[in-house]
Homo-oligomer: A and B are copies of this chain.
Amino acid sequence: MAPNGPVGLAVVSNRGPVSFRYDRAGGLVARRAGGGMVAALGPGVRRHGALWLSAAISDADRDAALAGVVEAEGYRVRWLLIDAAEYRMYYDVIANGSLWFLHHGLWDLPRRPRFDRRWWEAWEAYRAVNRRFAAVVADVVDDGATVLVHDYHLALVCGELAALRPDLRTTAFVHTPFCTPEEIGILPRDVGTSILAGLASAGACGFHAVRWATAFQACCEDRLGRPANTFVSPAAPDRADLARVAGSTACAAELRWLDQTVGDRRLIVRVDRIELSKNLLRGFHAFDDLLEARPALRGEVVFAAFVYPSREGLAEYLAYRQEVESTVRRINQKWATATWTPIILDTSDNHPRSVAALRRYDVLLVNPVRDGLNLVAKEGPLLNERNGVLALSPWAGAWDELGRNAIEVHPFDVADASDALASALDMPAAERAERAIALKDAASRRRPTEWFDDLLAAARPPGW
């Protein structure tokens, strides 16, 4: 199928900006897809009229692709059809089940990973899907076009493109952290080398923070014997979109609900996927310690966790969710009174409610064990209306922009995290205000379109 008009600029990512569902009559209905990457890319893509290539994930997506939908929600789109079994191997086993764990340091190494025959079959699927993405890109973009490839799902695409279409200007942007040279050795040797070579074949490889670019360079020098062309450009929140949601009647209703629920108490908030790297468990343990160490806070503070289920096709995520739920249950049983529930665990994925919580927090806890950037750490200060304190892990890429005015939370030290929450709650009003202004300033310094322009400016032919 020919693309809809000339394609001088294409964005390639596993998940696209739009997903489909069936209405009651069986018709296809488009809706904006969630996720941080779409939020970050959307404004730039729309402004430039770029073509967005992504995988058709649901049955409705496939039907839309087969029906020839080429435009939806203001985006020019093109879908790849991938066999469902192949998609599971590429996406669940390799991308999310292996590369995500690798880059975030999440493996329990005495037990996982275990690269068995089934895993090797999945790796072949990953290679095939990456080749297919590259072939479609090569097929549809104009001479000398710019192609912006995204994330760990598609680490081999730029390598394929360098062979198929050396005329293209490319970037490979990695949204996750990047592992160390020691860690990449956990992968089978050829696999690690393929991934590095694939990324390094891009005209430039982008990262949200200097440390991930440095780690990637160290891997390339160690394994490929040469540096890659890298750049660093942290993504920015979409303020217009945040303002739209914050100003909605749905958000106002959620804020009223929150006001009623929390009352005069102080409010600690977290907003995350239920994700192993986000460190939910130690956040709750730190709060438990805080109530132990500071009896005066009992009954006076609520920890509201807006955490929504994610990747439940992976056993690790199901197990983690159960641990989260039982940890919260245990702490609530320990401390709750007739009029006070210490932890509110909300897994409903209610976006207006999360935005209301970000407007309302006294302390925002962002304590990942490792995180490429963490957009919530930027969105919180932009939305917050109470001079709330940001309690931030230095292992989040966003630390580089926000750390100066955040309270540091050590992700593994729950005694330290408890003390950090106490300092945040104790902070004098003047200091809270001063830091809140500085955080708002840091978080609004860049717009999504500037980030997108960095990607465009970095794009180069391979081997440039």
Interface string of A275-294 (1 = CB under 8 A from B): 01101011001000100010
Binds B, one of A111-119, A163-171, A353-361: A111-119
Bound-state Cα–Cα, A182 to B182, Å: 10
Bound-state Cα–Cα, A180 to B218, Å: 13
In the complex, the chain B residue whose C-beta lies closest to that of A288 is B116
Interface string of A402-429 (1 = CB under 8 A from B): 0000000010111110000000000000
Interface string of A309-330 (1 = CB under 8 A from B): 0000000000010010000000
In the complex, the chain B residue whose C-beta lies closest to that of A369 is B109
Chain B residue numbers with a CB within 8 Å of A320 are: 110
Contact A412 B115 (CB under 8 A): yes
Check: A105 CB closer than 8 A to any chain B CB.
yes
Bound-state Cα–Cα, A232 to B155, Å: 38
Check: A252 CB closer than 8 A to any chain B CB.
no
Contact A116 B415 (CB under 8 A): yes
**A413 and B281 in contact, given A110-B276, A180-B180, A182-B180 (Cβ under 8 angstroms):** no
Check: A264 CB closer than 8 A to any chain B CB.
no
In the complex, the chain B residue whose C-beta lies closest to that of A113 is B412
**CB neighbors of B among A208-261 (8 A):** none
A393: min CB distance to chain B, Å: 11
A118: min CB distance to chain B, Å: 9
Interface residue tally on A, bucketed by range: 35 or more
A interface secondary structure, majority: loop
Check: A108 CB closer than 8 A to any chain B CB.
yes
Bound-state Cα–Cα, A120 to B417, Å: 13
Contact B114 A414 (CB under 8 A): yes
Contact A110 B285 (CB under 8 A): no
Bound-state Cα–Cα, A413 to B98, Å: 13
In the complex, the chain B residue whose C-beta lies closest to that of A215 is B182
Contact B110 A106 (CB under 8 A): yes
Chain B residue numbers with a CB within 8 Å of A111 are: 281, 323
Contact A120 B415 (CB under 8 A): yes
Chain B residue numbers with a CB within 8 Å of A369 are: 109-110
Check: A188 CB closer than 8 A to any chain B CB.
yes
Contact pick for A410, options B105, B189, B281, B323, CB 8 Å: B189
Contact A186 B115 (CB under 8 A): no
Chain B residue numbers with a CB within 8 Å of A187 are: 412
Chain B residue numbers with a CB within 8 Å of A416 are: 115, 188
Contact pick for A413, options B108, B115, B413, CB 8 Å: B115
Chain B residue numbers with a CB within 8 Å of A414 are: 114-116
- 17 inter-chain pairs at a CB distance below 8 angstroms, sorted by A residue, are A107-B108, A109-B369, A110-B277, A110-B279, A110-B281, A110-B369, A111-B323, A114-B282, A114-B414, A115-B410, A115-B413, A115-B414, A115-B415, A115-B416, A188-B413, A188-B416, A189-B410
A residues sitting closer than 8 Å to B (CB atoms) are 105-111, 113-117, 119-120, 180, 182, 185-189, 276-277, 279, 281-282, 285, 289, 293, 320, 323, 369, 395, 410, 412-416
